[in-house]
Each structure stands twice: as structure tokens, then as C-alpha cells.
């Protein structure tokens, strides 16, 4: 059975293991630690003591941004990312967010499909935003607005 709970800095090793496994250019531990406090919020998925994945969100005024979402490779394809994304959306609804935003690599078709299926729409493109092994790649900015 999968359970969900917010995590703090005591989970940094598990967060970083998933972060490093999921991204070609992962966050540093310092960045991750800075995103576990203040205007940031998170939720992690667990099976027992094993962290399966997480998301980190940021609140800026009435808007919320999905900063990072990862599922350990051995647990991908099981709907965990969808559950985490839905929890992020629900968090926004519960806190009267006006808009939700995220950025995604243009090459990440599975993530784009997940975000579209959850109701996010393409808003714009940030040229050469993400580093790659051979240069840079565009980011697609996606958003969702709530009716207030």
C-alpha cells in the first residue's frame, strides 16, 4: 500500500537518490534543502519506509508552481506520478490558488501527456532553458487556472 506525507531535511538522502536517478541535470543537495522550507511545500509517496517519489511546490502569492516531481525509475509506470500531481492540484485548490504553473522539457513526452491529462495547458516556450549533454533544450510552460 502506498502512503503520502510531507517530508523534511531528515529525508534528504532519499530525496537526492530519486532526484539523481530521474534527472540528467539534478538539483544539488543545497538546492533541495532550500526547497524544504519557507514558501515551499512537498509530498512524498512511500511504501513502508521506501520513498517511491515526491513533488516539491512553491507558493508565490496566489500562484503555485510545481518545481520538481520525480518517481524512482523502478516505480515508474505505476500511476505514482499521477497521484502526486493530483495531490499538488488538490493542495492548490484547498489553499485557494488562482493558478498552477510548471515547466517541462520539450522532449519529455510522457510528462507532457500526464500534465495535459490533468488539465494543464501549454502557455509558452522558454527557449534554451534546460541544459543537456549537447547544449540546451526548450522548456514548455504549462498552466491551469481555477475559477474563483
Catalytic residues, which ones? 103, 115
**Torsions phi, psi for 36 (to 5 deg):** -110, 15
Nearest to 72 by CA among 121, 122, 141, 22: 22
Angle between helix 109-117 and helix 80-94 axes, rounded to 10 deg: 40
- Residues annotated within the binding site are 108
In the sheet with 40-47, reading across from the earlier edge strand, the strands are 3-5, 40-47, 50-60, 63-71, 99-105, 135-145, 121-132
Q: Which residues pair with 42 in a beta bridge?
A: 56
Bind-site residues for acetyl-CoA: 108
Amino acid at each position: 500500500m502506498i502512503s503520502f506525507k510531507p517530508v523534511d531535511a531528515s529525508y534528504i538522502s532519499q530525496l537526492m537518490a530519486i532526484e539523481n536517478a530521474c534527472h540528467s541535470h539534478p538539483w544539488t543537495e543545497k538546492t533541495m534543502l532550500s526547497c524544504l522550507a519557507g514558501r515551499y511545500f512537498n509530498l512524498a509517496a512511500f511504501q513502508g519506509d521506501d520513498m517511491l517519489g515526491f513533488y516539491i511546490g512553491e507558493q508565490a502569492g496566489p500562484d503555485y508552481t510545481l518545481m520538481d516531481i520525480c518517481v524512482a525509475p523502478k516505480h515508474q509506470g505505476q500511476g505514482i506520478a499521477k497521484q502526486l500531481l493530483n495531490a499538488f492540484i488538490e493542495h492548490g485548490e484547498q489553499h485557494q490558488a488562482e493558478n498552477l504553473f510548471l515547466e517541462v522539457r520539450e522532449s519529455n513526452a510522457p510528462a507532457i501527456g500526464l500534465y495535459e491529462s490533468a488539465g494543464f495547458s501549454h502557455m509558452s516556450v522558454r527557449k534554451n532553458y534546460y541544459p543537456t549533454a549537447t547544449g540546451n533544450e526548450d522548456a514548455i510552460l504549462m498552466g491551469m487556472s481555477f475559477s474563483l
